Structure 1
Amino acid sequence: MTTGRFFTNWDDTHSELWSHQTIRLAHSIHEQPAFSLDDLARLIEAYPSEHYSLVKTGPRGSSRIWREGEIGKLSGRQVIEAISRGGLWLNLREVSSIDRRYHDMIDQMFAEVAAKVPGFEVPTHQAGILISSPDAQVYYHVDLPGQGLIQIAGRKRVYIYPNTPPFIRPEDLEDCALFQAEVDIPYAAWYDKHAQVIDLEPGQMLNWPLNAPHRVENLSTVNISMSVSYMNDDIRRAQALHLANGMLRRRFGYAPKSRGLHGPAFVAKRVMQRLLRNSKWVKRERAVRCPIDFCLDESDLGGIVDPPKLASQAA
């Protein structure tokens, strides 16, 4: 049960800028008991394996590395300690569906937004908890739903780029909808000159415009964050459009010209993507999740070893 208001510095400018510009808001969500280390450790220990991602990425400045692993038999506290030693991040996906406490927090948060932003209604939403190493990073990517990032502990630097070409093209959004591969969009180092760069502290939240590409670097501290994705009718329409246009481009070789969210052309596209989105062709084109190729080392926290299956095959 949560009490009181979460947003502590909301003013009229935030109401005007919400979803149109990147805004940083002060919040008290990080003070909730559900974010204590003991509660997070228990959550990790009971978390369904199909709903978490343990990822190892390369150090900043290196070529892109993306490996997925599993926590093995470590306790929740040991997992957090292993992450603290570098190179890893743990994403507890769909936590708001698995633990009601986090769902209720986000419900309350959006109720506060709806009370401040004319025309905004509490959307359907999903949240994940990210626990990441002091040197961890999240590569340049885009999300199709609306997004918010709530900082609980630690400091991170967030780069947010314009949601226009060349930073994100219609074809990139189509591929994201079709292939479900948000991190494969093109990135060039010079993009950073045009990014809005924000250092995020505990008790702060970011909300940015729909489909704005972004990337994240931790600032030498263990980070705990909550990522929030949300959907309303306009966002659902946009996703249906991206998927339909991606089908037209990739399956039928037709370069779509219309990107309107209303009218006969949109209705036809919406019907088409509903008919084809579960087809064998789409399922075949969807990105396959990376195989599990490491496990946290039980004898050396912070180290990684081959998972049991790979180790037995090597023997």
Structure 2
Amino acid sequence: MARWPPQSPPKRSSNLHLVRGRYREALSELIDRYPRSYYGLVHMGASNQRRFWREGEIGDLPGAAVIEAIASGRMWLNLRNVDTVDARYRDLLDSLFGELGDRVPRFSGATSTCGLLISSPNAQVYYHCDLPGQHLWQIEGRKKVYVYPSAPPFVSPENLEDIALFDVEVDMPYASWYDDYAQVFELAPGEMLTWPLNAPHRVENLDCLNVSMTVSFTDETIRRLQKVNLANGLLRHRFGYAAKDRAIAGPAYWSKAILQKALRESSWVRRERKTRRAVDFRLDPSRLGQIVELPVVG
């Protein structure tokens, strides 16, 4: 397999002890009480339909039916910030990063959050990258993860700026030849995968329901890079100025830190993010795995 440039492989771990038995029941109960503002439901197309991406909502379905609908459909449910909704996940995350901090000193100052991904057999997550550091912990099912180099042409500063500004990770350009430079891993229950900061990746589920825990973390360096990405994105899209400097210290950095803080909650940014995340379907309660079309509010 080709490398661009050569790099060490992501780290794997098999030390995750799964809780068996009633975990599906617990997962259903969690979905039952999950706040609408904290989850994302995405419907995607076949593997060659990369641009097919729709966002929807659960509606009144109970959690057990939601899991059945996902198992019968082609979608995934992202329960974001689950450590905020359920304190047990916060305790788990604190324990995990406490151990990481003991073993890897730079993790001692990291802040973290986690989510749960429930996804259909043969579903996919399109080519994208994330601004925070990432871990992926596999709980149920099996999936392939393709990890690409965190450098041009696979990811550009403009890509990172757009993610920071519009809060959408999957609009990145992708070409099939990128796969010649990917590292491919098949995750099974009890395994964890992590990769270099901002490394693009995509996921293909095998023919089974998948449940995974995603962990995002930031330290001071990552936080400063995120501020620079947002400030540079604002300068380029709002003011027509393509900033090349990506320094995370000095006068240029502090000017951008002030700029992004002043504008990140502006009506212009909120409008752009809302436009790009229109909700246009709901799960069909009478045909689990199918969807009901919703009118798009203009």
**1:202 lines up with 2:189 in the alignment:** yes
Give the unaligned 5+ runs of structure 2: 1-7
Kindly provide the amino acid, as one letter, of the partner of residue 27 in structure 2.
L
> Partners in 2 of 1:276 and 1:296 — Cα distance?
36
Task: Answer yes or no: is the 8 Å Cα contact 1:56–1:68 preserved in 2.
Answer: yes
Is the alpha carbon distance of 1:80 and 1:283 closer, same or farther for their aligned partners in structure 2, counting shifts above 3 Å? Answer: closer
Q: How does 1:35-114 map to 2 (within 5 A)?
A: 36-114=23-101
Shift of 1:276: 2.3
SS state at 1:43 partner: helix
SS state at 1:295 partner: strand
Q: How does 1:114-153 map to 2 (within 5 A)?
A: 114-153=101-140
> Partners in 2 of 1:53 and 1:276 — Cα distance?
25
Task: Answer yes or no: is the 8 Å Cα contact 2:97–2:107 preserved in 1.
Answer: no
Is the alpha carbon distance of 1:90 and 1:167 closer, same or farther for their aligned partners in structure 2, counting shifts above 3 Å? Answer: same
Task: Answer yes or no: is the 8 Å Cα contact 2:67–2:118 preserved in 1.
Answer: yes
Q: Which residue of 2 aligns with 1:158?
A: 145
Task: Answer yes or no: is the 8 Å Cα contact 1:147–1:230 preserved in 2.
Answer: yes
Query: Cα RMSD between the aligned structures?
Result: 2.1
Shift of 1:289: 5.0
> Partners in 1 of 2:289 and 2:227 — Cα distance?
42
Shift of 1:32: 7.1
Shift of 1:63: 4.4
Report the count of equivalent residues: 290
**1:296 lines up with 2:283 in the alignment:** yes
SS state at 1:251 partner: helix
Task: Answer yes or no: is the 8 Å Cα contact 1:159–1:198 preserved in 2.
Answer: yes
Q: How does 1:149-298 map to 2 (within 5 A)?
A: 149-288=136-275, 290-298=277-285
> Partners in 2 of 1:231 and 1:90 — Cα distance?
24
Of stretches 160-169 and 270-279 in structure 1, the one that deviates more from structure 2 is 270-279
Q: Which residue of 2 aligns with 1:22?
A: 10
Shift of 1:21: 5.2
Kindly provide the amino acid, as one letter, of the partner of residue 277 in structure 2.
C
Of stretches 285-294 and 96-105 in structure 1, the one that deviates more from structure 2 is 285-294
SS state at 1:174 partner: helix
Task: Answer yes or no: is the 8 Å Cα contact 2:168–2:276 preserved in 1.
Answer: no
Shift of 1:302: 1.7
Task: Answer yes or no: is the 8 Å Cα contact 2:166–2:276 preserved in 1.
Answer: no
After superposition, the C-alpha distances for 1:248-271 in whole angstroms (9 at most, x for unaligned) are 222333222321211222122212
SS state at 1:121 partner: helix
Give the unaligned 5+ runs of structure 1: 1-19, 311-315
Kindly provide the amino acid, as one letter, of the partner of residue 80 in structure 2.
R
> Partners in 1 of 2:220 and 2:162 — Cα distance?
21
Of stretches 160-169 and 292-301 in structure 1, the one that deviates more from structure 2 is 292-301
Kindly provide the amino acid, as one letter, of the partner of residue 161 in structure 1.
Y
After superposition, the C-alpha distances for 1:176-229 in whole angstroms (9 at most, x for unaligned) are 111212111111111111111110110001111111111100011100001111
Kindly provide the amino acid, as one letter, of the partner of residue 179 in structure 1.
F
TM-score, reference length from structure 2: 0.91
Is the alpha carbon distance of 1:269 and 1:293 closer, same or farther for their aligned partners in structure 2, counting shifts above 3 Å? Answer: closer
Shift of 1:306: 3.2
